[in-house]
């Protein structure tokens, strides 16, 4: 299906309205997975013309995405990745884990950005960062699209490596997201050390439910379930 290529429109607007010179595009991958980290990439691209075919990583084939990521590694001005582990996700919830991963990525850049373009409508980064949220920014903004592709390819590679000792879960194919193979392996073998143990899928596994981690909520709030996929699919 044809799609409009991303542009530098938002970046130019930020430069004009805030005086920002170094702007990072930020995107995450792994929010809805049952296993593995949530990963965030921060990419700085400047205003150069992007590689042909750059867009949201989800719109690209595995082959094209992998090829494009290699090209982007050389094309971007700089990029860095940050991760929050399954244990950190269980301990602090997804929003805080996303912020942790994003800050790790931004702090790892060689130069601190003046502003950040964040994919989506929710600013999970917050102060002291100057943030512009853009819905579907991974399709419309060059820097965010670049971050999307690099993050997806890197996390997929990580999950394939983690899955070597857990072949029944087929992490190389599903990257820790729910799939029929993943579901069957969970029912038979229970969660691996890489699974998120505070998530709702364990409620549908009576024989493994005792492993579920429940955080205490002293402020009376309820656990975050945004992005969690149930066991029925």
124-176 pLDDT, tens per residue?
999 999 999 999 999 999 999 999 999 999 999 999 999 999 999 999 999 99
* CB neighbourhood size of 233 (10 A): 11
Could you give the domains of the chain?
8-162 (3.30.420.10), 166-211 (no CATH)
d(CA 79, CA 145): 12
For 69, the token pair is 């990521």
Contact between 174 and 182 (Cβ < 8 Å) = yes
Is 165 one of the annotated binding-site residues? no
Q: What is the mean pLDDT of residues 109-128?
A: 95
Q: pLDDT band for position 214 (50/70/90)?
A: confident
Is 203 one of the annotated binding-site residues? no
Is 119 one of the annotated binding-site residues? yes
Q: What is the pLDDT of residue 4?
A: 86
d(CA 156, CA 154): 5
* 65: nearest Cα among 37, 89, 29, 99: 29
């Amino acid at each position: 299906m044809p799609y409009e290529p991303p542009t530098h429109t938002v970046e130019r607007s930020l430069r004009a309205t805030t005086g920002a010179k170094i702007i990072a595009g930020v995107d995450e991958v792994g929010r809805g997975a049952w296993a593995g980290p949530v990963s965030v990439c921060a990419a700085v691209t400047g205003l150069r013309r992007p590689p042909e075919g750059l867009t949201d990583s989800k719109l690209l084939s595995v082959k094209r995405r992998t090829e494009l990521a290699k090209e982007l590694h050389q094309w971007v001005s700089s990029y860095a990745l940050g991760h929050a582990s399954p244990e950190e996700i269980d301990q602090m919830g997804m929003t805080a884990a996303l912020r942790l991963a994003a800050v790790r990525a931004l702090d790892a850049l060689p130069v601190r950005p003046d502003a950040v373009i964040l994919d989506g409508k929710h600013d999970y980064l917050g102060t002291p960062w100057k943030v512009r949220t853009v819905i579907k920014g991974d399709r419309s903004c060059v820097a965010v699209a670049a971050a999307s592709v690099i993050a997806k390819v890197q996390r997929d590679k990580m999950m394939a490596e983690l899955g070597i000792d857990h072949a029944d879960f087929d992490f190389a194919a599903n990257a820790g997201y729910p799939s029929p193979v993943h579901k069957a392996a969970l029912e038979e073998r229970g969660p691996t050390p890489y699974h998120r143990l505070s998530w709702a899928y364990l409620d549908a596994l009576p024989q493994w439910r005792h492993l579920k981690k429940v955080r205490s909520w002293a402020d009376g709030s309820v656990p975050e379930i945004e992005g969690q996929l149930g066991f029925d699919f």
